[in-house]
Amino acid sequence: MTRPVELAIEVAHLFERLGGEVSDRQWSDVIGVIRIQQETLDLGYLNAQATARGLERLLEKAVDQARV
- State the total domains in the chain: 1
pLDDT digits (tens, 9 = 90+) for 4-48: 667 667 766 766 676 666 677 878 888 888 898 888 888 888 888
pLDDT for 20 = 62
pLDDT for 25 = 81
Considering only the C-alpha atoms of the chain, give the largest distance between any 2 of them, rounded to a whole number of Å.
30
Range of the domain at 57: 4-66
pLDDT for 57 = 84
The closest of 5, 3, 4 to 44, measured between CA atoms, is: 5
pLDDT for 18 = 63
